[in-house]
Amino acid sequence: MEAEQGTLAFDGQSCSFSGIDAAARRAAGGLRHLGIRGDDSVAIILRNDIPYFIVHEAAHYLGFDAVPVNWHLKPAEIDFILTDCKAKVVIIHSDLLTQELAGVIRRVPVIVVTTPAGILDSYGITGDGDHGEPGFLDWADWIEKSPELENPEKKFRPPMFYTSGSSGRPKAVLRKNVTPEIGAQVSARTRFAWGFDRTPIRSVMTGPLYHSAPNGYGNMVLQSGGLLVLTARFSAEGLLALIERYEITHLHLVPTMFVRLLDLPDDIRSRYRLDSLIHVTHGAARCPVDVKRNMIDWWGNVIYEYYAMTETGIITCCSSAEWLECAGTVGRPAPGVEIEIRAENGNRRGPFEEGLICVRHEGTHCISYLNAEEQVEDLHQNGFLVTGDIGYLDEAGYLFVSSRQSDMVISGGVNIYPAEIEAELLAMDGVIDCVVFGIPDPEYGEKPVAVIEKKGPLSGADVSTYLKTRLANFKLPTAYEFVDRLPREDSGKIKKQRIKKEYLEKYDY
């Protein structure tokens, strides 16, 4: 065990939470000098690094919206987010600053963080980008010269995350009129689900900070006075080594990570001590029953699960013992959460009857979307929030999630909306119409595929090359199938579920 509590350890260095807080006050002062005021937006295009936490803390002091941006996105996708949230400043790692992206973001002040060597090595990057753009600020120099914010008053300001859009465009989740009391209740429920009522907390940051769950998890570790070991990217054996080295107690994982851990040879699995673990939580995607059972067999009854949304936060949680008694469940409602299963007409369903999963807690009425108010009406129903998932409750109140009302694909814990891919495909010459849907994948849970009605010669390579310039790589379909005509209803609507069913049967899924 090498690092103290209340510390962020990364790339051979460490920074205390008090040090992050002091840097945050300077960052807040510097951002105010750049014209940032309360309710403005600051975009963060960073890999996992210490400045991420500094900017988040600065948001609590200055009152701006920190907007984490997935750095896998293409410049046009990033441009949409920056325009939608009206970002006034962009903070970006130097290796991510391509010439094309620089042209997108230079319309506002840009602060460039030199990418640490450990990140460059982890991703096999030989160059660190062109960060000598005229007018761009250097993070280290800028924060050193920035004065501390005068008379700082710290208030909770959650980041503003963009979710993939069911209509083809991402949308930012807003939380309006969140009182300190509501914030405290949401925080207490999250701490309970993640095992943070058991201290000390020593954890490894396994996921990217641009996702809401890893972001919230990492920040809560630090705010709880715990140790957080930051990693550039996930490595199965690397994680085992860190657990032993730092005597890790808490982890946040996704099922894909379980799969990669279980794929390790027995001699590597047995090489490391893991007895320090007390609470390993997972979420973001459905976990295959055999995968979870094998993880419990290996690590013991330290595996916990939760079901949540970016919009709502924690909905249910489940211990290993509960899951072993009720395999396949995502748990019972977390403290303060109500769950109802409803039919399409809004009527409440009984035990074991499938329907829409609807939830309510003290903060669900605060949820909205930036620049997408028309979608908020579909979100709320008779005081409850509609998750878009289909499931049922058993007689003991355990929730089972069986499918989704929406077409969303969850691949490796990442949400992918087919409508966004379909919109890009329909703009391509030679594509008459198309459908995109998810199929099972043993490692990632699901992966997207596309069935395309075409005219003229068109190949999967042609389509892939086209989409690569418009969509982040993780959104690209893994397979393409071409047909002369897609089946349709009399109304002209494509029979998407029939196409998916026939595809799964054809390839024996």
Distance CA 331, CA 461 (A): 43
Whether the per-residue pLDDT at 3 is higher than 70: the answer is: no
Give the pLDDT score at 296: 97
Whether the per-residue pLDDT at 369 is higher than 90: the answer is: no
Please write down the HEC assignment for all residues of 17-73. Answer: HHHHHHHHHHHHHHHHHCCCCCCCEEEEECCCCHHHHHHHHHHHHHCCEEEECCCCC
Whether the per-residue pLDDT at 125 is higher than 90: the answer is: no
Q: Per residue in 281-314, pLDDT tens?
A: 998 777 878 889 999 999 999 999 999 988 888 9
Give the pLDDT score at 386: 87
Structure tokens of 321?
A: 């013992």
R_g (Cα) of the chain, nearest Å: 23
Q: Per residue in 241-273, pLDDT tens?
A: 999 999 999 999 988 889 899 999 999 999 999
Q: If you average pLDDT over residues 340-367, what whole number do you get?
A: 88
pTM of the model: 0.83
Of 269, 318, 230, the closest CA to residue 3 belongs to 230
Distance CA 371, CA 157 (A): 19
Whether the per-residue pLDDT at 178 is higher than 80: the answer is: no
Of 352, 465, 463, 461, the closest CA to residue 400 belongs to 352
Say which residues have a Cβ less than 8 Å from residue 502's Cβ, sequence separation at least 6.
Answer: none
Q: Per residue in 127-173, pLDDT tens?
A: 765 555 678 999 999 999 999 988 888 888 889 999 865 555 788 88
How many angstroms separate the first and last alpha carbons of the chain?
Answer: 46
Q: Per residue in 451-493, pLDDT tens?
A: 998 888 889 999 999 999 989 999 999 999 999 888 876 556 6
Give the pLDDT score at 509: 78
* Dihedral angle over CA of 219, 221, 222, 227, nearest 10: -140
Give the pLDDT score at 427: 82
Q: Per residue in 218-227, pLDDT tens?
A: 999 988 999 9
Q: How many CA atoms lie within 13 A of 200 on its CB side?
A: 16
Are the CB atoms for 331 and 337 separated by under 8 Å? no
Distance CA 35, CA 66 (A): 15
- What is the rounded average pLDDT for all residues in the chain? 88
Give the pLDDT score at 179: 79
